[in-house]
């Protein structure tokens, strides 16, 4: 049984941002504490409240893009969860949200959390399962009477999917110093709006963004719980697993420049049709990836002028490619690029390729990985092809991931689902890990 619940119609109107854009961060002290009755009840309550935010009622998928109204509503939800539990709420210089139990400046903190934004028509679990489970695991620790000896924090990293501006993990990359302020300011959405403009409209200060080494220095360990985006745990019949690694992966924009012309009067031999070069490149990508045991997907395309009776002048295709190692990935992308250029020669189409996002291979900290596996009684340890904020942070702090079984393996789709028992098993596992890391 999936867990997605329904809440009465969402709030109308633009949810005012919940903070002024303070350069370093804004801290609000704990409001009245009031944990829900049981962990399961708190999980369902949070899930029910979050579920309708940013849901496309036609497709039932989610469109929670960075710095939009849906994003603001998710942020309001996160702040409410923090304050309901009497946690110290912070927004950092990059707009990431933090909920602290204990002194945020004490250091050696155990941090958990994930993201709330989505891909276009994404599922309900990718990101939100990690954030909801983090609050529920904290409720569980409190119900057990556990006493953390280290600060605990829950984080919502902004713009993990990069659905609007094209770059994955913007919030965590900025914080980890893997994206400069200037690079972030260059990002544009499909309407040409820049990241700074979008942030300003949402009430955030784009000039405050940048690396946050002081914040990273406070973190002793970061553990992200995430729905598995694959079927490995379904195949081994395990509810929970621990991540070993993340495949290297990236996004490349292919621009196919042809010549606009009349669809009904231009002879075939006179055409310079970029759609043809694009189509052949898509076929080449599948073939090259299959042969190399890698992955390659053209999932996004734009056509100019996009008229049914006009030969296109420009086709833009975005390639997502991933492989078990960086050498294979580079080889596959190189072969796809060469295939595009060769076909472009034949078609009279000029091809230009731009790398828009890249994440090197991530090997999670072995000691933390093994500690989690031990705390959880030897659950499976598995790699993933999906990128995560934990992957970005792993370059700066000891990082680990927990996966929750995805019975179909489907993700980045409205059909993404997870079993109620498995979600609660994930909460219990995360509580076990947080207690093991923060209470001894």
Q: Which is nearer to Mn ion, 73 or 159 (CB)?
A: 159
Shortest distance, CB of residue 387 to ligand HGY, whole angstroms?
A: 4
Q: Is 25 annotated as a binding residue?
A: no
Q: Which is nearer to ligand HGY, 293 or 299 (CB)?
A: 299
Number of residues that bind ligand HGY (CB under 6 A): 5
201 DSSP assignment: H
Q: Which is nearer to ligand HGY, 164 or 257 (CB)?
A: 164
How far apart, in Å, are the Cα atoms of 310 and each of 249, 303, 317? 35, 11, 19
Indicate the SS3 state at residue 111: strand
* 168 interacts with ligand HGY by CB under 6 A: yes
Nearest-CB residue for ligand HGY: 387
* 225 interacts with ligand HGY by CB under 6 A: no
Q: State how beta strands 109-115 and 97-101 pair.
A: unpaired
Angle at CA 69, nearest 5°, toward 387 and 130? 35
- Measure the CA–CA gap between 178 and 395, rounded to whole angstroms: 9
Binding to Mn ion in span 153-182, by CB under 5 A: none
* 386 interacts with ligand HGY by CB under 6 A: yes
Q: Which is nearer to ligand HGY, 230 or 387 (CB)?
A: 387
- SS3 letters across 353-377: EEEEEEECCEECCHHHHHHHHHHCC
Binding to Mn ion in span 404-423, by CB under 5 A: none
Q: Which is nearer to ligand HGY, 385 or 436 (CB)?
A: 385
Q: Which is nearer to ligand HGY, 110 or 289 (CB)?
A: 289
Count how many Cα atoms sit within 13 Å of the Cα of residue 255 in the half-sphere of its side chain: 10
Report whether 256 contacts 395 (CB < 8 A).
no
Q: Is 257 annotated as a binding residue?
A: no
Shortest distance, CB of residue 157 to Mn ion, whole angstroms?
A: 10
Report whether 339 contacts 288 (CB < 8 A).
yes
Return the structure tokens found at 323.
């492989």
* 46 interacts with ligand HGY by CB under 6 A: no
* 416 interacts with ligand HGY by CB under 6 A: no
Shortest distance, CB of residue 359 to Mn ion, whole angstroms?
A: 12
* 161 interacts with ligand HGY by CB under 6 A: yes
Q: What does the buried/exposed string (b/e) look like for 59-86 if buried means 16 or more CB atoms within 10 Å of the residue's CB?
A: eebbbbbbbbbbbbbbbbbbbebbbbbb
Q: Considering CB distances under 5 to 8 angstroms, the limit depending on partner class, which of Mn ion, ligand HGY, none binds residue 127?
A: Mn ion
Nearest to 410 by CA among 123, 160, 163: 123
Shortest distance, CB of residue 440 to ligand HGY, whole angstroms?
A: 33
Number of residues that bind Mn ion (CB under 5 A): 2
Q: Considering CB distances under 5 to 8 angstroms, the limit depending on partner class, which of Mn ion, ligand HGY, none binds residue 73?
A: none
Shortest distance, CB of residue 205 to Mn ion, whole angstroms?
A: 26
* 124 interacts with ligand HGY by CB under 6 A: no
Shortest distance, CB of residue 404 to Mn ion, whole angstroms?
A: 12
Q: Which is nearer to Mn ion, 126 or 435 (CB)?
A: 126
Nearest to 289 by CA among 236, 344, 314, 252: 252
Q: Is 226 annotated as a binding residue?
A: yes
DSSP letters for 136-163: HHHHHHHHHT---SS-EEEEEES-SS-T
Binding to Mn ion in span 92-151, by CB under 5 A: 126-127
Which residues, at least 6 apart from 121, have a Cβ–Cβ distance to it below 8 Å? 56, 59, 61, 62, 63, 413, 414
Q: What does the buried/exposed string (b/e) look like for 323-357 if buried means 16 or more CB atoms within 10 Å of the residue's CB?
A: bbeeebbeebbebbbebbbebbeebbbbbebeebb
Given the rule CB under 6 A, which residues bind ligand HGY?
A: 160-161, 168, 386-387
- Could you list the residues known to form a binding site for Zn(2+), using ranges: 115, 126, 161, 226, 412
- Could you list the residues known to form a binding site, using ranges: 115, 126, 161, 226, 251, 309, 322, 412
Given the rule CB under 5 A, which residues bind Mn ion?
A: 126-127
């Amino acid at each position: 049984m999936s867990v997605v619940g329904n809440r009465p119609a969402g709030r109308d109107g633009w949810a005012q941002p919940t903070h002024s854009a303070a350069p370093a961060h804004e801290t609000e002290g704990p409001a009245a504490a009031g944990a829900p009755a049981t962990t399961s009840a708190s999980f369902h309550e949070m899930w029910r409240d979050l579920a309708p935010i940013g849901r496309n009622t036609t497709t039932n998928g989610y469109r929670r893009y960075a710095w939009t109204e849906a994003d603001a509503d998710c942020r309001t939800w996160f702040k409410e969860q923090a304050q309901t539990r009497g946690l110290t709420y912070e927004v950092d210089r990059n707009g990431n949200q933090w909920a602290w139990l204990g002194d945020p400046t004490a250091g050696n903190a155990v941090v958990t959390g994930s993201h709330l934004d989505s891909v276009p028509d994404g599922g309900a679990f990718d990101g939100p399962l990690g954030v909801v489970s983090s609050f529920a695991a904290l409720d569980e620790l409190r119900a057990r009477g556990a006493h953390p000896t280290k600060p605990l924090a829950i984080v919502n990293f902004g713009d993990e999917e990069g659905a609007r501006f094209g770059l994955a993990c913007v919030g965590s990359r900025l914080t980890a110093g893997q994206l400069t302020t200037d690079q972030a300011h260059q990002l544009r959405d499909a309407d040409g709006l820049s990241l700074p403009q979008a942030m300003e409209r949402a009430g955030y200060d784009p000039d405050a963004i940048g690396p946050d080494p002081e914040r990273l220095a406070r973190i002793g360990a970061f553990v992200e719980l995430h729905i598995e985006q694959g079927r490995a745990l379904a195949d081994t019949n395990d509810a929970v697993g621990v991540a070993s690694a993340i495949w290297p992966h990236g996004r490349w924009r292919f621009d196919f420049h042809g010549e606009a012309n009349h669809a009904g009067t231009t002879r075939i031999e006179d055409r310079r049709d970029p759609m043809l070069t694009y189509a052949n490149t898509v076929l080449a990508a599948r073939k090259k990836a299959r042969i190399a045991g890698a992955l390659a997907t053209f999932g996004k395309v734009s056509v100019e002028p996009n008229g049914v009776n006009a030969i296109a002048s420009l086709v833009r295709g975005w390639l997502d490619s991933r492989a078990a190692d960086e050498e294979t990935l580079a080889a596959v992308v190189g072969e796809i690029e060469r295939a595009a250029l060769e076909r472009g020669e034949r078609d009279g189409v000029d091809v230009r390729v731009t790398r828009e996002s890249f994440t090197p291979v991530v090997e999670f900290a072995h000691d933390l990985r093994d500690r989690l596996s031990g705390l959880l009684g030897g659950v499976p340890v598995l790699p993933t092809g999906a990128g995560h904020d934990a992957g970005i942070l792993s370059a700066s702090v000891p990082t680990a991931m927990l996966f929750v079984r995805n019975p179909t393996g489907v993700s980045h789709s409205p059909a993404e689902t997870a079993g109620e028992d498995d979600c609660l098993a994930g909460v219990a596992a995360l509580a076990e890990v947080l207690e093991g890391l923060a209470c001894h």
